[in-house]
């Protein structure tokens, strides 16, 4: 089971982690700036992931990732600042266009009203209303000029309206971009927090000792090999129905393959692990990994333990999954305990098997698994 880190230890390690990054690991990329520096660090990380073979290289990799994420956060902050300026400029521009459009529209309406008062009449009427030919010609020119000016004003109004709509659309697109950048920065900051916590956990679990680091890697590999052996040599018990009791939560495999009493629940499809959370029905549980309650599950299976359930480590990349090198750093199941009962129940119908395998030398790990048909198998590790 995952153990909580004390606040004092976490603060101390975070302090060391953050303030040692640039000094130790950025030298190879220090002569670069901007995007080139980020690309350099990204390549350094990709190379480092292939070369992690001891605690020191593991710490270097995490520090490089943290340093890169810090640079990405700064880059995103700059983009947010510039994009916010764009939104503000567009807002000012739109406000000006709105005022211009309002003024021009009123002017056009006034001219139309005025033109209506001087609506067209016949040449004969003009001749009767004007004392001489010059007056007549001036009146004709005035009407033509007024008509031309009104047409120009109408065109200006239409052009201003089009520009106004384009600027509004551009501002909305820019605001969407700003929102995306803000979400990106939240994700990057969350990633940085995760990396710092992960390093703290590694240093705590290994006691900053390379021999202990390699021991934990070997133990995780031994657990994986025990599951593989269980598939090949498990003893058939018989059919089970959803809800039938199949085992009790235990700590078998301790100390080599278990750190405390818990259930490791795992699902495989055609002998490849899949996200077991996708098979469990949605349930609000105490999620220690995120330090709060969470809805976990999106399938139809019952949970193998009864409420109240505490999930100590979820499926996927977690702060503790660094030791699962065989799976690419993925925790292949869900670790859980129950404050209500130690009884493990079948989440779905199938055929039950049992196995006990050596794990890391002197330890034996007890495993139950259910074959649900069509290559789908659920595993229950560390049972009594």
Q: Over the stretch 87-119, which tens digit does the pLDDT of each residue have?
A: 998 888 888 877 876 776 777 677 666 665 555
In the chain the first and final C-alpha atoms are separated, in Å, by 15
pLDDT digits (tens, 9 = 90+) for 186-232: 999 999 999 999 999 999 999 999 999 998 998 899 889 888 888 88
Rounded to 10°, the helix 55-117/7-25 angle is: 90
In a shared domain, residues 141 and 1: yes
Q: What's the chain's average pLDDT?
A: 84
In a shared domain, residues 20 and 45: yes
What is the C-alpha separation between 192 and 70, in angstroms, rounded? 7
pTM of this structure: 0.71
pLDDT digits (tens, 9 = 90+) for 6-59: 444 444 444 444 444 443 445 678 788 888 888 988 888 888 888 888 999 999
Residue with tokens 């025990």: 226
- Are the CB atoms for 380 and 238 separated by under 8 Å? no
Chain Cα centroid distance, residue 75: 18
- Residue 259 φ then ψ, to 5°: -115, 5
In a shared domain, residues 157 and 295: no
Chain Cα centroid distance, residue 109: 54
Out of 184, 208, 232, a domain closes at 208
In a shared domain, residues 68 and 113: yes
What is the C-alpha separation between 115 and 187, in angstroms, rounded? 62
Q: Which structural domain, as residue segments, surrounds residue 108? A: 1-208
In a shared domain, residues 42 and 170: yes
Domain count, the chain: 2
In a shared domain, residues 257 and 301: yes
DSSP 303: P
In a shared domain, residues 7 and 80: yes
In a shared domain, residues 203 and 312: no
In a shared domain, residues 221 and 362: yes
In a shared domain, residues 334 and 223: yes
Out of 163, 190, 208, a domain closes at 208
Instruction: Using alpha carbons, select from 96, 76, 73 the residue that is nearest to residue 84.
Output: 76
What is the C-alpha separation between 350 and 369, in angstroms, rounded? 9
- CA torsion, ordered 338, 340, 341, 342, to nearest 10 deg: 30
Instruction: Using alpha carbons, select from 289, 254, 260 the residue that is nearest to residue 364.
Output: 254
Query: Tokens at residue 79, please?
Result: 């983009």
In a shared domain, residues 13 and 146: yes
Residues ≥6 apart with Cβ < 8 Å to 54: 210, 213, 214
- Are the CB atoms for 281 and 303 separated by under 8 Å? yes
Check pLDDT > 90 for residue 339: yes
Out of 170, 187, 208, a domain closes at 208
Give the up-direction half-sphere exposure of residue 230: CA atoms within 13 A in the CB hemisphere: 29
In a shared domain, residues 105 and 231: no
- Are the CB atoms for 1 and 250 separated by under 8 Å? no
pLDDT digits (tens, 9 = 90+) for 131-180: 555 555 555 555 566 666 667 766 676 777 778 788 888 889 999 999 99
Q: What is the average pLDDT across 61-70?
A: 91
DSSP of 238-292 = EEE-TT-EEEE-B-TTTTTT-SSSBEEEEEEETTEEE-GGGTBPPEEEEETTTTE
Farthest-apart Cα atoms in the chain, separation: 125
């Amino acid at each position: 089971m995952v153990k909580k880190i004390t606040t004092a230890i976490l603060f101390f390690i975070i302090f060391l982690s953050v303030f040692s990054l640039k000094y130790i690991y950025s030298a190879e990329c220090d002569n670069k700036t901007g995007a080139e520096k980020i690309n350099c660090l990204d390549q350094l990380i990709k190379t480092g992931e292939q070369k992690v073979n001891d605690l020191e290289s593991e710490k270097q990799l995490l520090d490089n990732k943290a340093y890169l994420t810090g640079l990405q956060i700064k880059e995103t902050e700059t983009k947010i600042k510039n994009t916010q300026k764009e939104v503000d400029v567009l807002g000012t521009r739109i406000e000006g266009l709105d005022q211009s459009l309002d003024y021009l529209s009123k002017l056009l309406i006034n001219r139309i009203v005025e033109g209506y008062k001087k609506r067209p009449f016949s040449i004969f009427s003009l001749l009767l209303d004007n004392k001489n030919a010059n007056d007549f010609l001036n009146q004709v020119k005035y009407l033509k000029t007024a008509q031309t000016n009104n047409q120009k004003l109408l065109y200006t109004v239409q052009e201003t309206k089009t520009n106004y709509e384009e600027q509004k659309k551009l501002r909305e697109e820019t605001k969407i971009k700003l929102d995306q950048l803000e979400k990106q920065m939240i994700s990057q900051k969350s990633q940085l927090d995760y990396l710092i916590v992960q390093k703290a956990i590694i240093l705590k679990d290994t006691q900053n000792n390379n021999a202990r680091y390699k021991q934990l890697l070997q133990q995780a590999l031994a657990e994986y090999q025990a599951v593989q052996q269980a598939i090949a040599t498990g003893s058939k018990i018989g059919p089970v129905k959803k809800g039938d009791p199949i085992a009790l939560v235990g700590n078998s495999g301790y100390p080599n393959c278990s750190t405390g009493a818990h259930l490791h629940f795992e699902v495989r499809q055609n002998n490849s692990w899949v996200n077991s959370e996708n098979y469990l029905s949605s349930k609000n549980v105490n999620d220690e990994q995120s330090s709060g309650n969470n809805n976990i599950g999106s399938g139809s299976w019952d949970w193998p333990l009864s409420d109240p359930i505490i999930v100590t480590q979820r499926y996927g990349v977690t702060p503790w999954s660094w030791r699962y090198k065989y799976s690419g750093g993925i925790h292949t199941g869900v670790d859980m305990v129950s404050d209500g009962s130690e009884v493990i129940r079948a989440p779905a119908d199938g055929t039950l098997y049992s196995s006990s395998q050596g794990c890391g030398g002197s330890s034996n790990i007890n495993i139950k698994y259910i074959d649900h048909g069509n290559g789908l198998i659920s595993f229950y590790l560390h049972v009594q």
